[in-house]
Structure 1
Amino acid sequence: MRRRLGVSALALTASLSAAAPSLAQTGPAPGPAAGSGPVLTVPPLEVVAKQLDRERTEIQPSLGATRYDFAASAIQNIPLGDNASLNQVLLRAPGVVQDGFGQIHVRGDHGSLQYRLDGVQLPEGLALFSQILSPRFADSLSLITGALPAQYGLRTAGVVDISVKSGTTNPGGEASTMLGSYNWVQPALEYGGRSGAIDYFAVGQYVSNGIGIENPTGSALPIHDNTAQWYALAKVTGIVDESTRLSFIGGGASARYQIPNVPGQIPNFTVNGISNQNSSFLDQRQWEDTYFGIASLQKSYQNFNLQFSGFARYSNLSYQPDALGDLLYNGIAPWAKRTSFAVGTQADASWKIAANHTIRGGFLVQRERVTSFSQTNALPLVPDPSDPDAEFIPGEQTVGFADGSELIGWTYSVYLQDEWKVTPTLTMNVGARFDAISAATTENQLSPRINLVWEPDPKIALRAGYSRYFVPAPLNQVGFNSIAVRAGTTAATEVTRNDPVRAERSDYFDIGLTVKPVDGLTVGFSGFYKFAENYLDKGQFGAPVFQTAFNYAYAQVKGFEVFGNYDKGPWSAYANLAWSRVSSTNINSAQFNFEQADLDYIANHWIFADHDQSWTGSAGAAYVFNQGSEWATRVSADMLFGSGLRTSVVTPNDTALPAYATVNLSVAQKIPLPGSKGTTIRFDAINLTDLSYQLRDGTGVGVGAPQYGMRRAFFVTLSQKF
């Protein structure tokens, strides 16, 4: 797999041999002198666009952090290639843990990932099953972890940095269709180009299959699990002059899901005299929609670079229960809808004030409004007619109630840092950021950051860093509905305490070593430790299926990663192995989601977090036959390994689920059809051994349902460039 692992220092490619030509030079270049060789000319607008791309990377480097880069060829090596979900690509980075509902965990955190498009942070949405971003959108893709520099805040487990394709980087078009197991149909279309000073690129895809959510049973085929989804993104940029560029990125995703069923379940309640129903016929559904837009102005002047952006994101989640079935099995049937609308502005700048000093700073301001409404049916709690002195029991006649709320939150962030080249081989990046929130709680923190990178030899890089983090709970994942309206019904909670979810505050330490012993080979090591107060976790508590945040009073996260990759000629290969341990104690917010016995135990004991997985690994290799020819053949294989997430047997999260390892194979063949710019046929085999493995068993703190990984599946993709 073609990927660079290790320290990200400020190492930009060499500048252009001459300044970018003036945009006014639109005529042909002068002809060659008599007897001279041919003159190579480059379109001025393309030169300026690429130069501005390089200058944008100068604004937000990841100096001192650990950066895992996925080139376009690396994405093609993984199963399904561009058709894979973004999280499936990220699972090939060290320390990234696979979970149910398509979620991933990085370095022991539940979520807390930030996604950046061309350097602009995208607000977090409501979608749980669907992913609004695709590797198909990316010209380059990186995961940045570790002790992050001061420009990265609010979501700190990792930064998914995406440089979006453009008409300059990806001219022309490509159409593809993937067909496969589970009635899978996935057509996609992309096109990019340039017209004068305007660069444009657009991409869209549609997905329909019969396994929209992980199967809750170990069977080969899930029951009632169809999905239909579309994703789209468009990018338009305009060059004003040699140092100024305007851009707009707009995109969205819409997905419809059936909630899969578990056959053979026994109802827990009686409704209007009905006490039996075939659980295979339940009909629960969920809708998820997200739309976003980012407008940016980039300006460069000598040693100063600036990007100023405005952004907006709308997100909606709706849940439709099985009117009778939800009451029979859960005692509650909610028709629920939650929406979130966030707008804001972000600015980042860099100024090289001296040969050995570069100052960087910026700010972010965001406003988010979250609304929630549900119309719910439940069963009343009534006296037991056979024993009036006994506790109340569920009645059979339904009662209904409505519940709604609104929450508005503001986020303010500002940072400043200095990259100091202490010696030719030692670089120190020191700075701080200030974050403040005003929402369900009002909190703020000043967070110092420092990173050291020592490169005694071009083939060796050592780093060490410390970061103070401030991570507020996602506003749209804060449970703020009324508990009182549920009293006296089967929807009532055992615990009525609901302390507000607070921002996590932590100290993070990170060290690492990267070595390049021979050409094409990179090996490395990373170790990290975090101590957190009000450690943020998330759980799925009943229906609708979305994440609800809560805090542990304290948590310790520690681990290490070893990794290596080789990329030279037709061969590329990678392997990594990570160990981590997440221990936490005392749930001190959103307590109504839990049973009192669990709260009492966790208040006096350290437990594993439910998303803790001790060992995580991945490995893969690819070889290209006839590399560089029109008949090139790419053959690749990879493996994912997990030692198992946590489950509860005697005490909360006391046991790990069984370990698993899945093997995948891919073959892609180019075919030079006459009059074609490129035709490729691709075959993928997922979980080749047809292993039945469990990601979740439905128990554990904050775990709402069992999930199994996908069984063996086969896919064929035909793509055509034009």
Structure 2
Amino acid sequence: MRVFPLWACALPALAFTSQTAFAQDATAQAEPGSVQPAAPAADASPSTIVVTAKRLDDARASIQPSLGATSYTITNATIQALPGGDNQQFNQIVLQLPGVVQDGFGQFHVRDDHNNLQYRINGTILPEGLAVFGQTLSPRLINSFNLLTGALPAQYGLRTAGIIDVTTKSGFDNAGAVSLYGGSHGMIEPSVQYGGSTGSTNYFVSADYRYDKLGIESVDGTSTPIHDGTKQLQLFAYVDHILDDENRVSFVGGYANQLFQIPDPSGLQAADTNPGWNVNGQTDYLSNNLNERQLERTGFGQIAFLHDSGPLTIQTSLFARYSLLRYTPDTLGELLFNGQAQNATKKDVTAGAQIDGAYRLSSAHTLRFGALFEHDHGSSQTATAVFPGSYDDTGNFIQTGQPITIVDNGAKTETTESVYLQDEWKLLPTLTFNFGARFDHYDGYRSEQQLSPRANLVWQPTPGTTIHAGYARYFSPAPFENVATTTISKFAGTSAAPPSGALDTTPFAERQNYFDVGFQHAFGTSGVTFGLDGYYRRSHQLIDEGQFGAPIILTPFNYRRGRIHGIEGNVSYTKGPWLAYANFAYAKAQGKDITSSQFDFDPADLAYIQTHYIYLDHDQTYTGSGGISYAFKQGPLAGLQLGGSMIYGSGLRADGAVPNGVALKDYAQFNLSSSYKIAGPGIQVRFDIINVGNLKYEIRDGTGVGVGAPQYGPRRGFFVGISKDI
């Protein structure tokens, strides 16, 4: 058994960061079960508009409190203090929270779940899209965000491993900034943001463009991988208009266009691995020359109406999202390496409506209710070049002709309907019981439904101590936009044929029983807060996702049975210019018997997994993160911030004697940051070092159930930035 290294727990004594508000929910009104470390107070203003806006923000937050769920909060001040500030990718920020595991392709996992995350912007659901490498949300739009996990109240459903709820910036100061950031790996990122108000209308806009020669994780651990560039454009806009003291209408919109080169391994020859495939007599191809690319594009919009009067607060929202993923192969190279080359385009258009409300029935009872309707249309177009032929009795492929192209197109529509009702019942001034249920139904590749009860008990024996225990029944359909639409019969008699008798069962919805218990304690005025949380989950038709074949498109599949449990601990210190935090998590995730998308798997693996529990490929036993910050407020160094952060992982899974039977080597990555703000001219400069020790470590080694390629963490990088207030 690996032991979490003691030096990782001691990180706050070794590194530096800036004044932030990490860790847990700090709403305007302390809610039972959430943890409240110090957060920066909002600037006071005599403006009636500002006061009304703040009151309406608080009213919106009261509709969807955590109520016993585990909640962690990161503010914009925290983001600015981390190495990279708001120039970094959103996933890198989330990795600083407890129980969040780093994976390749920019992915992360909450409590050893593969994905199963729901994003919300100002309380409104952001529909899922087609994205693997790209990050839809830019840190520049964020005022703060919460990660909610554990036994969630009834308003949260469908995606339940974690809820990431972003509160956007909104401008009142008629000010903004332009910046330029860049450094190692040829990275350069110009950006601009501006926020302001006119009368009772407030707005915020941002735009950034990134060019980087390290667009995806390196496949060989070098700091200059072959063919790994990316170009990324992100735009965002927020506008709200206060109609009167009780009503506000708001709009949120965003667009991202992101192009990625797929990195090449170095020095491999196709002739060394293929069974004799040839294209017009050519049998060899150097891996350095592969030219595979992926385009990810998305646009979304939300419009919301918020009403708050007396005992009733309600928000009604309309939302829509368009996304596209296009994979362009190196046809000749992939044919000679893999026996097939697929040009794939997937599109998805989602539109829906959401309503959430709270009615304060009495001092002891607050009812919360809501409904969701979502309409999703997805299409898939593939053209796959394959060799005609067949496999002999020894498993060797006999090519009978030159490559042919098989076209396989399809489209499908899915509708989802959800309703919920719950009661926050104050049994005593220090004891709250929140109970309710939600009903979810979807009709797409399958039609399934479930009534899901929820219950949380929260006790606050002292002002600084909160203890909670909860149960949730969960229902999570497979991600509609990622469900494979391959017609496997079309590939019979080709190099892309699945094993004889292979099945292609449509993925099922996952059904879970989830138990969570934890506590949080703030040690008086010392600034120290400590928390511990444990969870246990049993799943039927546990959903996982894998990369199968060259197109980097994740495909969902099910384990008939799943079992996951773990424990998280966190400690933070916030006082004056100092903030330090350290997080540690233990988890174990296993599944048994693959029951969908079976044609993607090796028959021997399927047979073993049918009768044995195996570790999930994204299981990581120990995970940690930490950091410390100091902000100089006075004297000649006023405006200087020094900081650092780290992440630790005991290693994801890889194949051993059995599928996913071993863990990769553990690692710890340290980052440092410094910035200096010259208040007069409004100029800020910063300098960041990522992976200070230049550690070469594997996130993936290319083996494991549903794992397609190796990925390594970033090597040491130096980055500088300058920004100017406007």
**Does TM, scored on the shorter chain, surpass 0.5?**
yes
- Tell me, in whole angstroms, the C-alpha distance in 2 between the residues paired with 1:711 and 1:91: 17
Q: Of the candidates 504, 513, 525, which is equivalent to residue 507 of structure 1?
A: 513
**C-alpha offsets along residues 85-125 of structure 1, whole Å, 9 cap, x if unaligned?**
11111100000000000000000100111110000011111
Q: Report the CA distance between 1:656 and its aligned residue.
A: 0.1
Q: Of the candidates 48, 55, 67, which is equivalent to residue 51 of structure 1?
A: 55
Q: Report the CA distance between 1:631 and its aligned residue.
A: 3.4
Q: Of the candidates 428, 442, 450, which is equivalent to residue 445 of structure 1?
A: 450
Indicate yes or no: 2:268 matched with 1:265: yes
- Tell me, in whole angstroms, the C-alpha distance in 2 between the residues paired with 1:103 and 1:389: 38
Q: Report the CA distance between 1:51 and its aligned residue.
A: 1.0
User: What residue in structure 1 maps to residue 422 of structure 2?
Assistant: 417
**Is the Cα contact below 8 Å between 2:28 and 2:58 reproduced in 1?**
no
**C-alpha offsets along residues 504-557 of structure 1, whole Å, 9 cap, x if unaligned?**
000000001101114221111000000000000000111210110000000100
Q: Superposition pairs for residues 209-608 of structure 1, below 5 Å?
A: 209-267=212-270, 268=274, 269-381=277-389, 393-395=398-400, 397-494=402-499, 496-519=502-525, 520-608=527-615
Q: Percent identity?
A: 45
Indicate yes or no: 2:715 matched with 1:711: yes
**C-alpha offsets along residues 317-355 of structure 1, whole Å, 9 cap, x if unaligned?**
001111210101111111110000000000000010101
Which one-letter code corresponds to 1:89 in the other structure? I
User: What residue in structure 2 maps to residue 176 of structure 1?
Assistant: 179
Which one-letter code corresponds to 1:577 in the other structure? F
- Tell me, in whole angstroms, the C-alpha distance in 2 between the residues paired with 1:568 and 1:682: 24
Q: Of the candidates 623, 632, 639, which is equivalent to residue 630 of structure 2?
A: 623
- Tell me, in whole angstroms, the C-alpha distance in 1 between the residues paired with 2:223 and 2:664: 20
User: What residue in structure 1 maps to residue 15 of structure 2?
Assistant: none
**Is the Cα contact below 8 Å between 1:630 and 1:671 reproduced in 2?**
no
Q: Report the CA distance between 1:389 and its aligned residue.
A: 11
Q: Report the CA distance between 1:394 and its aligned residue.
A: 2.5
Q: Superposition pairs for residues 192-207 of structure 1, below 5 Å?
A: 192-207=195-210
- Tell me, in whole angstroms, the C-alpha distance in 1 between the residues paired with 2:325 and 2:244: 43
Query: Counterpart of 1:360 in 2: which secondary structure?
Result: strand
Q: Report the CA distance between 1:391 and its aligned residue.
A: 6.3
Relative to structure 1, the CA distance from residue 523 to residue 627 in structure 2 (aligned partners, 3 Å threshold; closer, same or farther) is: farther
- Tell me, in whole angstroms, the C-alpha distance in 1 between the residues paired with 2:290 and 2:307: 56
- Tell me, in whole angstroms, the C-alpha distance in 1 between the residues paired with 2:304 and 2:574: 35
- Tell me, in whole angstroms, the C-alpha distance in 2 between the residues paired with 1:171 and 1:582: 49
Which one-letter code corresponds to 2:362 in the other structure? A
Q: Which protein has greater RCO, CA pairs closer than 8 Å, 6+ apart? A: 2
Q: Report the CA distance between 1:633 and its aligned residue.
A: 0.7
Normalised by the size of structure 1, how large is the TM-score?
Answer: 0.93
Which one-letter code corresponds to 1:360 in the other structure? R
Which one-letter code corresponds to 1:485 in the other structure? K
Query: Counterpart of 2:105 in 1: which secondary structure?
Result: helix
Q: Of the candidates 102, 109, 126, which is equivalent to residue 105 of structure 1?
A: 109
- Tell me, in whole angstroms, the C-alpha distance in 1 between the residues paired with 2:397 and 2:222: 39
Query: Counterpart of 1:589 in 2: which secondary structure?
Result: coil
Q: Report the CA distance between 1:628 and its aligned residue.
A: 9.4
Give 1 or 2 for the bigger CA radius of gyration: 1
**Is the Cα contact below 8 Å between 1:5 and 1:522 reproduced in 2?**
no
Indicate yes or no: 2:651 matched with 1:644: yes
User: What residue in structure 1 maps to residue 150 of structure 2?
Assistant: 146
Q: Report the CA distance between 1:275 and its aligned residue.
A: 1.2
- Tell me, in whole angstroms, the C-alpha distance in 1 between the residues paired with 2:634 and 2:354: 43
Q: Of the candidates 669, 673, 677, which is equivalent to residue 666 of structure 1?
A: 673
- Tell me, in whole angstroms, the C-alpha distance in 2 between the residues paired with 1:64 and 1:46: 31
Relative to structure 1, the CA distance from residue 234 to residue 389 in structure 2 (aligned partners, 3 Å threshold; closer, same or farther) is: closer
**C-alpha offsets along residues 206-254 of structure 1, whole Å, 9 cap, x if unaligned?**
1101011100002221100111001111011111111011111110111
Normalised by the size of structure 2, how large is the TM-score?
Answer: 0.93
**Unaligned stretches of 5+ residues in structure 2:** 1-18, 32-43
Q: Report the CA distance between 1:679 and its aligned residue.
A: 1.2
- Tell me, in whole angstroms, the C-alpha distance in 1 between the residues paired with 2:569 and 2:396: 57
User: What residue in structure 2 maps to residue 86 of structure 1?
Assistant: 90
Query: Counterpart of 1:555 in 2: which secondary structure?
Result: strand
Q: Report the CA distance between 1:6 and its aligned residue.
A: 4.9
User: What residue in structure 2 maps to residue 3 of structure 1?
Assistant: 21
Q: Report the CA distance between 1:395 and its aligned residue.
A: 4.0
Q: How many residues align?
A: 689
Q: Of the candidates 122, 127, 144, which is equivalent to residue 123 of structure 1?
A: 127
**C-alpha offsets along residues 64-83 of structure 1, whole Å, 9 cap, x if unaligned?**
01111112221122220111
Q: Which moved more, 1:294-303 or 1:664-673?
A: 664-673
**C-alpha offsets along residues 477-504 of structure 1, whole Å, 9 cap, x if unaligned?**
1112211111111111125301110100
**C-alpha offsets along residues 605-659 of structure 1, whole Å, 9 cap, x if unaligned?**
0100000000000110011123598831110011110000000022100000000
- Tell me, in whole angstroms, the C-alpha distance in 2 between the residues paired with 1:606 and 1:176: 51
- Tell me, in whole angstroms, the C-alpha distance in 2 between the residues paired with 1:389 and 1:182: 46
Which one-letter code corresponds to 1:346 in the other structure? Q
Query: Counterpart of 1:56 in 2: which secondary structure?
Result: helix
- Tell me, in whole angstroms, the C-alpha distance in 1 between the residues paired with 2:322 and 2:315: 23
**C-alpha offsets along residues 168-206 of structure 1, whole Å, 9 cap, x if unaligned?**
3x6411111101101101111110111112111101111
